[in-house]
Structure 1
Amino acid sequence: MEETKNDRISPREFRAAEGVSDWRVVFDGARAHFATGSFEKGAALVFAIAELSDAAGHHPDVELQYATVAVRLISHDIGDISHRDLALARRISIAADELGIVADPSRVQTVQIAVDALDIPAVMPFWEAVLGYRQEGGEDVVDPLGHGPNVWFQQMDVPRPQRNRIHIDVSVPRDEAERRVAAAVAAGGKIVNDAYAPAYWTLADLEGNEVDVAAWRDDSD
């Protein structure tokens, strides 16, 4: 329906809303991770989500594993989260609570691979082909099955020899970011750049391979 096309909601508004304490906004939408404890209980939650989604005419991505159910909400018609996602998130949380299922927001994350490129249109088809992905917009290739990490192409202005051209981005909630950084440092890593913290930190392992721990999406307008 046309009236749904402009119902975008900011991450800040989503986070401040009532009834969504189970949910966190990361790179690719609003996510929740429910600890079900059993496959049977997880299946019951998935069934409840299916009924709620059909009734709303708005459908999330749901992953059922033995003791967990992971849910991602995003409105594909606008490429972002919307008030439709907020409403469905609330209903899903109520259904989980009625089943005695508790969410674990600390498990929420999205991982993407970032490739620095001088000529993005020239290199993107290679990654699309070798991974079996599809292009989405002018900067990403994505797994059509929704299993693998997104690959994002970052524009370079000049070559940067002797520096990593590919790194990992880990999008986590703001309340998880500092713990994740501290754990990585304790495991032998080092902070390469914290000038933009708490929006994101750049860390590296002992051999200089870099990763960004990014929380900016969960705190943006």
Structure 2
Amino acid sequence: MKVLKDDDVQSRPGLQDWRVLAGRLHGSFRTRSMTRGIELVRRIGEVAEELNHHPDVDLRYYRVHVTLTTHAVHGLTERDVTLAGRISEAAAAMDVEAEPSRPRSVEIAIDALDIPAVMPFWEAVLGYRPRPTPTAEGEPAHEAGSVDLEDPDARAPGVWFQQMDAPRPGRGRIHVDVHVPHDEAETRVRAALAAGGHLVTDVYAPSWWVLADPEGNEACVCTWQGRDD
């Protein structure tokens, strides 16, 4: 099963309701009521059973969030593209509004000198599990949006570990990665700067911008763009 590149998926016709974030396909649909949300989830379930490909669905009072990935290969495939299109059709048939700028995906990054020594602590304290080793041919060992530890229920943010070359006592060693739709990123960066933050660097943009709050705590605003190399 071939893993698709993020730009290939995001540029597909019929996926205007969806955004690639951290190697997954996300859709958000504004149902405006719990009853309509339940009905949309029911229709999504029917399509998923028909295609034998199952999404993660988060039902809230006012909207439904859907996340797609092919777990067998830890990436996006044609199965996700097909299911996304069918879900959009189901939402449109109910006159449910898609909100493509709304999805987000958050990761926590921990800088460490000795990652094998540090990781078991976080695995235990969070109740997380190691992310499975990539199995798809050509899948990178640590791609953008992958994590080292993940929530077994796929609800809480993933954690990944960044190798440090030397101690940095004057700088924080934990930062937050916020993956947003590629066409929402600069708006999010401007909002953070207007709220008192400052730009640490944009040398990696549009893959990510490094920002910091007034006390120097860092966050990266990330997209799928510019990562193929």
TM-score, scaled relative to structure 1: 0.94
Q: Which runs of 4+ in 1 moved over 4 A?
A: 218-221
Q: State the alpha-carbon separation in 2 of the partners of residues 87 and 101 from structure 1.
A: 19
**1:179 and 1:201, CA in 2 relative to 1: closer, same or farther beyond 3 A?**
same
Counterpart-to-counterpart distance in 2, 1:218 and 1:80 = 16
Q: Give the aligned partner of residue 138 of structure 2.
A: none
Seen in structure 2, the aligned counterparts of structure 1 residues 49 and 219 have a Cα distance that, compared at 3 Å, is: farther
1:1-221 equivalence runs, <5 A: 6-137=1-132, 140-215=148-223, 217-218=224-225, 220-221=227-228
- The percent of aligned pairs where both chains have the same amino acid is 50
Q: 2:44, 2:226 → 1: CA distance?
A: 27
Q: What stretches of structure 1 of length at least 5 have no aligned partner?
A: 1-5
Letter in 2 for 1:170: V
State the Cα distance separating 1:204 from its structure 2 match.
0.5
Give the count of matched residue pairs. Answer: 215
Structure 1 CA distance for aligned equivalents of residues 200 and 46 of structure 2: 47
The answer to which of 157-166 and 82-91 deviates more is 157-166
Q: Is the 8 A contact 1:174 1:218 kept in 2?
A: yes
Unmatched tracts of structure 2, length 5 or more: 134-146
Give the letter aligned to residue 211 of structure 1: A
Read off the aligned partner of 1:207 and give its amino acid letter.
E
Q: Which has the higher helix share?
A: 1
- Whether the 8 Å contact between 2:6 and 2:23 is mirrored in structure 1 is no
Amino acid paired to 1:178: E
Does the residue aligned with 1:106 lie in a helix, a strand or coil? coil
Secondary structure of 1:159's partner? coil
Q: Which residue type is aligned with residue 73 of structure 2?
A: I
Counterpart of 1:123 in 2: which secondary structure?
A: helix
One-letter amino acid of the counterpart of residue 200, structure 2: V
Matches of 1:212 and 1:137, distance apart in 2: 25
- String of CA shifts for 1:77-110, please: whole Å, max 9, x gaps: 0000000000000000000000111111111110
Asked whether the 8 Å contact 1:7–1:84 carries over to 2, the reply is no
Q: TM-score, normalised by structure 2?
A: 0.91
For residues 90 and 29 of structure 2, the distance between their equivalents in structure 1, rounded to whole angstroms, comes to 11
Distance 2:187 2:211 in 1: 13
SS of structure 1 residue aligned to 2:35: helix
Q: What is the RMSD of the two structures over their aligned residues, measured on CA atoms? A: 1.3
Is this contact kept in 2: 1:135–1:141, CA < 8 A? yes
How far the C-alpha of 1:114 sits from its partner, in A, is 0.3
Q: Distance in 1 between matches of 2:196 and 2:85?
A: 40
CA displacement, residues 162-206 of structure 1 (integer Å, 9 cap, x when unaligned)? 111100000111100000000001111110111112221110111
